[in-house]
C-alpha cells in the first residue's frame, strides 16, 4: 500500500529521544512516515520510545550515542549512512540543566557538563551529519533551545549561556547551509512540563507539554521547499 504521509521515505534522527521532548518529537516524526533513529546514552529509555513507535505502526531504531564525544557521534553518523544512505532530518534535542545556584558557586565540572551537552554536542552532530545532507542537496536541522536563550536566568547562568550560544550557532549555520538546500531552525520553548526544568512554584497544568514542541517540529519539517522558519519562540498561553 502506498504511504502518502508527508515524511514517507525520509529518515530522521532525534538526540535525547528516550524521554520528554525528544521522545515526543520522535513519535511525531514516525507518525508522519519517517524512519526515526533514536539517539541517547540510555538504551532502556530509547527502546521504550522505539516500542511505543512500533506499537503505533511506526518505524524506529535505537542507537546508543554520547553527543559529548566526537568519536561516538562519528560512529553514529557512519552507521546511519550505511543503514539508510542519508539523513533528511536532524533534531538536536539532547540537553541537560543546571539550576542549583549562582554561577560563582558552580564547579567547573558542572559547567563542562552543561556546555558539552547543550552546545558542543550540537556542533559534533552538525559536523557528523551535515556533509551527507550537503551531498543530497537537502535536509532539515532543528536545534531545540529555550526561552532561557533569550532572557536572563538567575541561578541557571550556565544553562542560559549554552542556549544563547546555541541560538547564535543556529543563525550562523543556517546561512552557511541554506545554499545547499538545508534548512536550519531553532525552537525556543518556554517552560515545558518535563523532569529537566525547575518547576518550583509553577502550575504544571499551564506549562507547555512535550507534544506542543513536537507539533512545532512537524510544522518546520513539512514546509514547502521555497521557505523556512528560522526561529520559533513557543510560549504557554497562560503564565505558569
- Cβ atoms of 63 and 76 within 8 Å: the answer is yes
Phi-psi region of 89 (alpha: psi -120 to 50; beta: other; left: phi over 0): beta
C-alpha cell of 159? 544553562
Three-state SS for 4? Answer: coil
Q: Let me know: does 116 contact 72? Beta carbons within 8 Å.
A: no
Which 3 state secondary structure label does DSSP give 138? coil
Contact 23, 196 (CB under 8 A): no
Among residues 84, 124, 159, 171, the one annotated as catalytic is 159
67's grid cell? 553527543
Active site annotation includes 159:
yes
- Bridge partner residues of 188 (DSSP): 233
Q: Give the residue numbers marked as catalytic.
A: 159
Amino acid at each position: 500500500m502506498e504511504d502518502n504521509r508527508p515524511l514517507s521515505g525520509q529518515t530522521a534522527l532525534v538526540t535525547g529521544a528516550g524521554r520528554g521532548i525528544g521522545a515526543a518529537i520522535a513519535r511525531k516524526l514516525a507518525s508522519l512516515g519517517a524512519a526515526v533513529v533514536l539517539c541517547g546514552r540510555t538504551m532502556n529509555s530509547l527502546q521504550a520510545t522505539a516500542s511505543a513507535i512500533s506499537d503505533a505502526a511506526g518505524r524506529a531504531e535505537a542507537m546508543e550515542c554520547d553527543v559529548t564525544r566526537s568519536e561516538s557521534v562519528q560512529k553514529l553518523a557512519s552507521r546511519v549512512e550505511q543503514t539508510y544512505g542519508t539523513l533528511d532530518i536532524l533534531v538536536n534535542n539532547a540537553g541537560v540543566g543546571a539550576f542549583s545556584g549562582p554561577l560563582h558557586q558552580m564547579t567547573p565540572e558542572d559547567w563542562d557538563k552543561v556546555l558539552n551537552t547543550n552546545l558542543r554536542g550540537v556542533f559534533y552532530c552538525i559536523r557528523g551529519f551535515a556533509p551527507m545532507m550537503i551531498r543530497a542537496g537537502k535536509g532539515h536541522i532543528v536545534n531545540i533551545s529555550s526561552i532561557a536563550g533569550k532572557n536572563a536566568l538567575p541561578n541557571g547562568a550556565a544553562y542560559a549561556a549554552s542556549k544563547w550560544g546555541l541560538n547564535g550557532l543556529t543563525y550562523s549555520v543556517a546561512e552557511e547551509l541554506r545554499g545547499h538546500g538545508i534548512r536550519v531552525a531553532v525552537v525556543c520553548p518556554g517552560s515545558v512540563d518535563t523532569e529537566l526544568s525547575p518547576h518550583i512554584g509553577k502550575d504544571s497544568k499551564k506549562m507547555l507539554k512535550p507534544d506542543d514542541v513536537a507539533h512545532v517540529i512537524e510544522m518546520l519539517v513539512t514546509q514547502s521547499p521555497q521557505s523556512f522558519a528560522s526561529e520559533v519562540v513557543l510560549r504557554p498561553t497562560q503564565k505558569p
